Copies of this chain bind each other. A is one copy, B any other.
């Protein structure tokens, strides 16, 4: 009997990536669009808070995700605020934020939070991939993929299947899969 996960997202690319990675384990993912404003704060607090409110809103188990792009020279910022910087500044503006620094290294961080239902404490699954910030290369289809370089290729230049084997999201989903297998 395949498991179905309710995943709160309105991002079709994210849904496709998560579905593709979990399909291999027979887990089907159903998306739910739910308008959930996010808190400011630490990655962990933001994800837990979002999962709790999502579980309350739908009255059942739910999965939420938060992606951060952390520039090491900026002590981890923009981090959880990356979506606002990406939206307002675009690829060039993000690259420019590191103009004053030699250190272009960055970490892509994906945090899934699973909450079993209203009042339950969410469980977190976090994947991190190290890379560096470069001028954009590859198709601009998915967020900041063109400026995040991993071992010589940007995420945008990589074959999707190859990216799904090393990405921050893949690593987090691996942990989620293990957990789901242990908690069927």
List residues of A whose CB falls within 8 A of some B CB.
37-41, 45, 49, 74-81, 84-85, 88-89, 93, 96-97, 99-101
Contacts and interface: CB of A to CB of B under 8 A. Distances in A.
Count of this chain's copies in the oligomeric assembly: 2
Contact of A37 (B39, B96, B100): B39
A144 B129 CA distance: 33
Contacts of A77: 84-85, 88-89
A93 B81 contact: no
Contact of A40 (B38, B74, B97): B38
Contacts of A88: 74-77
12 contacts: A37-B41, A38-B39, A74-B89, A74-B93, A75-B93, A76-B88, A77-B84, A77-B88, A77-B89, A96-B100, A97-B97, A97-B100
A88 B100 CA distance: 16
A96 B27 CA distance: 46
Contacts of A40: 37-40, 80-81, 84
